Amino acid sequence: MIQAIYTAVKGRAIYQIDRLYSSQSLKTYLERSLLEKAEINDVSVNTLTGIMLVLYHPDKTPVEITSLIEESVLNYHVDPEQIETKSYLPKTLQQLTRMVADAEA
C-alpha cells in the first residue's frame, strides 16, 4: 500500500510504502526510477520506517506523484541475485559441517 501521509507543502510529499520496509533493493530501484521522471526533483528513502520523501515540480499534485510511485512499485521485480545472503548463514554443506564440528570441539 502507498499512502501520502504529508502533502501540506506544495512540491513536497511524504509517503508510507509498506513494501519499502527493510528492502534495500526496492529503495535503490525507487530512487533510480523516480529520479528519471521529469516531475521528480529529489527522493529520500528510509527503509527502517518505510517512508519516502519526494520533492517534485510544484505544478504537479500529490495524486499525480502517487501514480508515478505506484507505477514504479508495480514495475519492480526482485532479482534473485540482488537478495542479500546474511553472512551468518552457511552457503554450502561443507561450511555447515565445519561449523558443527567447530561447535562440538
CA distances from 93 to 35, 72, 84, 88 (A): 43, 39, 19, 14
| pTM of the entire predicted model | 0.71
Pure H helices in the chain: 24-35, 62-75, 93-104
Residue with cell 552457503: 91
105 residues of the chain, pLDDT tens digit each: 899 999 999 999 999 999 898 899 999 999 999 999 999 999 999 999 999 999 999 999 999 999 999 999 999 886 544 444 444 444 566 666 676 777 776
